[in-house]
Amino acid sequence: MKNYKLLTPGPLTTTDTVKEQMLFDHCTWDDDYKQITQEIRRKLLALAHVSEEEYTCVLMQGSGTFGVESVLTSSVGPEDGLLIAANGAYGLRMADIAKHAGLHYKLYNEDYDQVPSAEKIAELLKENPEITHVSMVHSETTSGILNDIAAVAEVVKKAGRIFIVDAMSSFGGVDIPVAELGIDFIISSANKCIQGVPGFSFIICRRDRLMECEGKARSLSLDLYDQWKTMEKDGKWRFTSPTHVVLAFAQALREMEKEGGIAARHERYAQNNRLLIERMGEMGIHPYIREHQGPIITTFFYPENRHFSFEEMYTYIKERGYAIYPGKVTDADTFRIGNIGEIYREDIEKLCEIVKEFLAEKKQEEEA
Ligand SMILES: *Cc1c(COP(=O)(O)O)cnc(C)c1O
């Protein structure tokens, strides 16, 4: 099969050295392996700027959604109420999780090109004293918008509520001062900005909030407290751990440090993103998000008067070495390009050249 690079927001393109780690079938019960898990947990706390006294880290098998579901269904108890601020498919997925689990929840739905308003959330908290928890997405991968979690954290903390953040596609690529913002639970996964492969999610949580989860979980395998209790003992995972994914992730963390940590990675992603938007703009292709565009993924409108389908463009680009992403917003005809993973300036330049060629060929066809 012909190889291509992924311009999708996870799974994303990883290094060969990360993939090579998966050639080893590691034993799960010995101390070497447990130490790898413990080191990963410590490093993730450091990336979140939190102390081991106040916070802890839990790794959870499955994709990112399993992590979000684990937090919501383990922390929101039968007497609690959850406010979900959504401006895209991942925010709405939290409502879907809440519905499936029978949680008491309220949905604050915002337009996909607008960030949830902290003032509005403050009002909702004042009007609804039964709300105990607030959850939202940081980087809404649906559109590429970067939500203002700092402004929301301030009102949620002032109102004395628990704050849950899905930072799936931003953690590691955008610096988040988790303790300073007072975030109680923050979730991300192995296959996004840390640049590992898919297979587990991780949750950084305030210890006191986690202790309150004991016995509350609606599910056995997603019980956040029980998963933590086993892992905290000596680094053993409660059920079979995704060993190859864990080894690859440990390597991905080392490579991230080598690159210069979150600051350097953020800079590379932001440069990729700026260049992408600039070059696409030169071809008359404009971003859907006008304000609060994040550095992770961009939703673009199709050029005007186009006479081609997404599949046609996708195949053309894929044959030339890159895989792009279909649009996901509901109110416009769009496609998406992610710029995270092992992606550099050369890749963005090459991609834009391919798009340019494609558009020129289409134009020629029309005129013929
Ligand atoms: C990727 C992602 C998720 C998790 O999706 P999975 O398919 O379960 O990995 C959740 N929220 C956001 C914002 C994401 O980008």
Give 305's DSSP letter: T
Tell me, what's the pLDDT at 314? 96
Using the mean position of ligand 1's atoms as its centre, give its distance from the Cα of residue 152 in Å: 21
Any ligand 1 atom below 6 A from CB of 10: yes
Asked if pLDDT for residue 355 goes beyond 70, the answer is yes
Cα separation, 71 vs 65, whole angstroms: 10
Identify which of 71, 12, 64, 93 has the alpha carbon closest to the alpha carbon of residue 344.
12
66-83 pLDDT, tens digit each: 999 999 999 999 999 999
Asked if pLDDT for residue 282 goes beyond 90, the answer is yes
Using the mean position of ligand 1's atoms as its centre, give its distance from the Cα of residue 132 in Å: 24
Confidence band for 331, pLDDT divided at 50, 70 and 90? confident
Tell me, what's the pLDDT at 368? 82
Query: Which of the listed residues 140, 168, 245 should we mutate to test ligand 1's pocket, taking the one with most ligand atoms within 8 A of CB?
Result: 168
Confidence band for 204, pLDDT divided at 50, 70 and 90? very high
Query: How many CA atoms within 13 Å lie on the side-chain side of 102?
Result: 6
Asked if pLDDT for residue 1 goes beyond 80, the answer is no
Tell me, what's the pLDDT at 92? 98
| Atom 6, ligand 1: residue with shortest CA distance | 64
Tell me, what's the pLDDT at 157? 98
Atom of ligand 1 lying closest to residue 140 CA:
13
Residue 250 structure tokens: 């440990």
Asked if pLDDT for residue 2 goes beyond 80, the answer is no
Any ligand 1 atom below 6 A from CB of 168: yes
SS3 100: helix
Using the mean position of ligand 1's atoms as its centre, give its distance from the Cα of residue 64 in Å: 5
| Mean pLDDT calculated for residue range 127-151 | 98
Any ligand 1 atom below 6 A from CB of 189: yes
Any ligand 1 atom below 6 A from CB of 137: yes
Any ligand 1 atom below 6 A from CB of 199: no
Q: How many CB atoms lie under 10 A from the CB of residue 183? A: 29
Identify whether the C-beta of residue 181 lies closer than 8 Å to the C-beta of residue 153. yes
Q: Tell me the one-letter amino acid at 207.
A: R
SS3 254: helix
Identify whether the C-beta of residue 12 lies closer than 8 Å to the C-beta of residue 223. no
Any ligand 1 atom below 6 A from CB of 8: no
306-329 pLDDT, tens digit each: 888 899 999 999 999 999 999 988
Kind of pairing between the strands at 322-323 and 200-206? unpaired
Cα separation, 172 vs 195, whole angstroms: 9
Tell me, what's the pLDDT at 307? 85
Q: Taking all residues of the chain, what is their mean pLDDT, rounded to a whole number?
A: 97
| Atom 4, ligand 1: residue with shortest CA distance | 64
| Atom 3, ligand 1: residue with shortest CA distance | 64
Kind of pairing between the strands at 297-301 and 82-86? unpaired
Identify whether the C-beta of residue 90 lies closer than 8 Å to the C-beta of residue 137. yes
Query: Which of the listed residues 68, 70, 84, 90 should we mutate to test ligand 1's pocket, taking the one with most ligand atoms within 8 A of CB?
Result: 90
Cα separation, 333 vs 313, whole angstroms: 14
Per DSSP, the residues of 131-161 read --EEEEESEETTTTEE--HHHHHHHHHHTT-
Any ligand 1 atom below 6 A from CB of 87: no
Residue with tokens 């684990």: 70
Atom of ligand 1 lying closest to residue 138 CA:
13
Query: Which residues sit opposite 325 in a β-bridge?
Result: 336
Residue spans of alpha helices (H) in the chain:
16-20, 31-47, 64-75, 89-101, 118-127, 149-158, 178-181, 207-211, 224-234, 243-259, 261-282, 310-319, 345-367
Cα separation, 352 vs 272, whole angstroms: 12
Using the mean position of ligand 1's atoms as its centre, give its distance from the Cα of residue 358 in Å: 30
Any ligand 1 atom below 6 A from CB of 135: no
